[in-house]
Amino acid sequence: MHRHPVLKNRRTLLERAEKFISDVYFTDCNLRGRLYGESHPLESISSFLCPKRIQFLEAVKQDFHPHSVGDTFGPTWWTCWFKVSLKIPELWRGKEIHLLWESDGEAMVWRDGQPVQGLTKEGEKTSYVLTERLQDEEPHSVTLYVELACNGLFGAGQGSMIAPPDPNRKYSVQKAELVVFNRDVRELLTDFEMLVDIVKQLGEGEQRGYQALFTANEMVNVCDSTDPSTYSKAHSLAHKFFSQRNGQSQHTVHAMGHCHIDTAWLWPYEETIRKCARSWVTVIRLMEKNPEFVFTCSQAQQFQWVKTWYPGLFSQIQNFVKKGRFIPVGGTWVEMDGNLPSGESMIRQFLEGQRFFKHEFGSYCKEFWLPDTFGYSAQLPQIMQGSGISHFLTQKLSWNLVNTFPHNTFFWEGLDGSQVLTHFPPGNSYEMGGKVEDLVKTVKNNKDKGRANHSAALFGFGDGGGGPTQLMLDRLQRVMDTDGLPKVKMSTPDALFSQLQAESALLCTWTGELFLELHNGTYTTQAQIKLGNRQCETLLHDIEVASILAQWRDQFFQYPSKQLQELWRLLLLNQFHDVIPGSCIEMVVEDALRYYQDIRSIGSRLLQGACEVLGLKEQKGNSTAVFNSLPWERVEVLQLPGDTAQPSLALVRVPSVGVAPVQESTQHVTPVSVTVQEEGTVLMDNGIVRVVVNKDGTLASLYLFDANREAISDGCNGNQFVMFDDVPLYWDAWDVMDYHLQTRKPVVKVVHPVQVVSSGGLRGSVTFTLRISEKSTITQEIVLDTMCPYIKFNTKVEWGESHKFLKVQFPVRVRSPNATYEIQFGHLQRPTHQNTSWDWARFEVWGHKWADLSEHGFGVSLLNDCKYGYSVHQNIMTLSLLRAPKAPDANADMGTHHFTYAIMPHAGSFQDASVIQSAYNLNFPLRLIPNASDTTPWSAFSVSSTAVILETIKQAEDRKNGLVIRLYESHGSSVTTSVSTPLLLREAWHCDLLERPDRARPVPISSAGMALSFSPFQVVSLLLCL
């Protein structure tokens, strides 16, 4: 047969193929219009509406009422259960039959009492396969239940995805019917789609793209959409193209199914439980049909939820885990924020996560999996290595606003020198679709060409769940080894990292933090969550220390291990990377604050019970004692309980990790003097520092006697509150942009000028009130205690702003190119200048309890009890206090806030001046013990070097007669120290962060204590056997 030569008009040929598979154009005669054959109505559909999320067995007992397709129901966050009765026509014998279900909510299909399929339009899952080939012996009449959540895959934002949820939205089922599914049409559509995408992605400069174009065009020529007998010839043309192989040097893409599910974000925690079930049961169905399919899944908390709510599904997951196809990854309780949790919290994420995975699935995770958090602490490599993990996968730094991160595969070196092999999938996504575009981007974007020839491609709908689809698997199957594209193999994280490790000789090393140049507002948003996190971390620390000491003092005391695990897991849950950053809806905030209150309430009782034991010698007394959970002696002014209007104060001296009675101090101390000067300013002096407070509460002077130095810059005032306009480009709760710095406005309106509250002695204090606006005020008490090296600012803010940012600034007489910030188990430096784009991208940074600006011999430190956002530019030290975003929580941060910060000038280095210890003291209050009878001070642990901090004392996991202590080097030095304790120790071992002892590294115990050596910022854990 004579054929005209193919025309050379690329556009017409390409568009011809596109229209042949379009779901918009020419569906009456193209291939897409033949995807479904005959349809048949359901026998009946009935429903009932429920405001709560209930389990299946309760749901089926309810009264169902007739329902018609198109009826509306709701509102948002309710659940509509449907009872679906269907009868498959006899004439459909031998055909593939689907229940076609299209709704604007997230649905779960239940059959025979078990969840069998998740359905959501947004996740491209709109049909449930009743049978792949209807047989006579199969049931033709079936009853299903469909559980439909009144929310979409991304919640229910009003107008945009991240807008606050619309509480009154109505939902509907638009389609519910039986259909014949033409599998051969689906296969041919996939062929066409992949060829068209190859044409588009390879472009006009690649011969292979034209081969794909001409193949697709010839397929249209031979395919008659109305004649299925022509499909095989078209499919053979596609198969011939896809079967043309690659060369041996081609890049290899390791494809892994994935379903990133935010543990809470634009939906509450409870909805996430159902998201997991909907997504994972769909994965199980895919595994049953696709023996090569591998799926990776993180977050022990989500597995725990599914185990509790869907035990049958969990058993199926366990079965596929044994087969090596459903692969738990990550090793943490949740995918936590990478900046804000304390070092100990990060360790507990791994401890709880790894122990769960080991217990439920028989093995520990080998890789840390954190694709979507807002930066990564420089101590994570050490924490990973200590938790049995040496590989790390993420991709979030591809979101950098300013600088492009220079690597995709590299060694990441942490603060202490620990290294982990790290991979950023070059496709810059954790929710690919198995498309040609994903594969081309993976090769094109790889910044380590020549160094690494293997990359990951994670495919599946994510964030709101959904996961992989059959179509994604079909796409990838076609191009496993196709000339012009990278090689594709269904793989595992272990296989990928093994290959990268084997070829790692040329890989580069990145040292220090992985700082995300975006989402800097999350260091400050939702201040009550930040406060709850810091206070609960402190409380759990103190409960563990006090309980260990109580167990030592009283053999009948029971260490509350079960309650502590429950409280820790609640705290770890709230450290998820959209909760502690504050980038979640109001319902999540309410849940988080309630969990913090549960921790405080239960934790306070546990602490009180332990402290009562610590204060007793034989029976209750009438004295008051004080418990110090920190590993150094503390001398502080305490307010004693009492009903008098004038608080009763005492100066107490409490030994390291110990208890002392409150008694009159015989030590000579310099009292605090408070003097009101003629112009209305107030001078406060404790012999260590002298401060002059202006009438508006700013500091005119801050003088350090020891250094004979003024700390406040000439012509400037410290403690200056400033407001900024805070309107980001899009991500409201997440982002503060650099241009906000151009809108600085000092808060100057005085409501109540400075007046004296406490006139001196053990404590001097003054108070004042400022008005920010008609909606907001600041009331502050400035406190100076005897023998205290810092000035405290106890602050109350009534906050009712919109898109504003409140900060406090201290211009200081210090010149340094770098400022120092506390992070987990150490500190790091960041520039105070803006020489390069990498420098000015850090206009807002994160830190924990303190930041310091020092020159040789002198410096100033800024301490706080619940804040994380900082900026030090040139000589201006700034602490970020409150934001006021309106999405996704319209009421974020509105209301009353209480917080404390402090300013501490010091001579010498911040290490020698005990800044680190002072910040701990500010955050870890001394605990009063009423009705104490033991009047002799005692100490349970002490450390000889001030550089080494004893961070944790807890009962060992699964060892009632063992305890774990954790120490770290805090100065950035190599040091040898000894740890002393009166506890009778049988033996001591070095152990890892999972508390597995290293039998090759016993710790000698002598009368002088346990001798330990540390390198800079090293974390050391010891297992002590009593």
> Known catalytic residues?
372
**Cβ contact 971:949 at 8 Å:** no
Alpha-carbon dihedral sign for residues 96, 97, 100, 106: negative
Give the count of alpha carbons within 13 A of 400, CB side only. Answer: 18
Side-chain-side CA neighbours of residue 607 (13 Å): 25
Sheet of strand 409-413, all strands in order from the earlier edge strand to the far edge: 367-369, 391-393, 419-423, 409-413, 509-511
Distances (CA, A) of 29 to 24, 26, 220, 488, 553: 12, 6, 12, 34, 85
HEC letters along 744-805: CEECCEEEEEEEEEEEEECEEEEEEEEEEECCEEEEEEEEEECCCCCEEEEEEEEECCCCEE
Please state, in angstroms and rounded to a whole number, the distance separating the CA atoms of residues 350 and 259. Answer: 21
| Residue 338 φ/ψ, nearest 5 degrees | -95, 0
Contacts of 667 (CB under 8 A, 6+ apart): 651, 653
818 within 8 A of 856, measured Cβ to Cβ: no
> Is residue 956 within 8 Å of 994, Cβ to Cβ?
no
- 392, 531 Cβ separation under 8 angstroms: no
Closest by alpha carbon to 950, among 923, 986, 979, 907? 979
Between the alpha carbon of residue 936 and those of residues 581, 623, 739, 983, the distances in Å are 45, 11, 59, 17
State residue 188 phi and psi, 5-degree precision: -70, -35
Please answer whether residues 194 and 479 qualify as being in contact, where contact means their C-beta atoms are separated by less than 8 angstroms: yes
With contact defined as beta carbons under 8 Å apart, do 778 and 770 qualify?
A: yes
Residue among 305, 290, 301, 298 nearest 327 (CA): 298
Sole residue written with tokens 């990145």? 510
Query: What ranges make up the beta strands (E) of 841-885?
Result: 845-846, 850-855, 858-864, 869-873, 876-883
CA distance 13 to 583: 46
Q: At what angle do helices 183-202 and 470-478 cross, to 10 degrees?
A: 60
What are 519's two structure tokens? 């989402």
> Burial code of 514-552, b = ≥16 C-beta within 10 A, e = fewer?
bbbbbbbbbbbbbbbbbbbbbbbbbbbbbbbbbbbbbbb
3-state secondary structure of 41: strand
Q: How far apart are CA 902 and CA 302, in angstroms?
A: 40
For the beta sheet containing 927-932, the strands, ordered from the edge strand earlier in sequence to the opposite edge, are 927-932, 623-628, 658-661, 938-939
Neighbours of 232 (CB within 10 A): 14
Give the C-alpha separation, 739 to 724, whole Å. 10
Distance between CA atoms of 14 and 4, rounded to whole angstroms? 18
Cis omega (within 30 of 0) for bond into 811 = no
b/e code 338-348 from CB counts within 10 Å (16+ = b): bbbbbbbbbbb
Cα–Cα dist 600/419, whole Å: 37
Strands 79-87 and 44-50: antiparallel
Task: List, in sequence order, every residue forming a beta bridge with 171; answer none if it has no partner.
Answer: 73
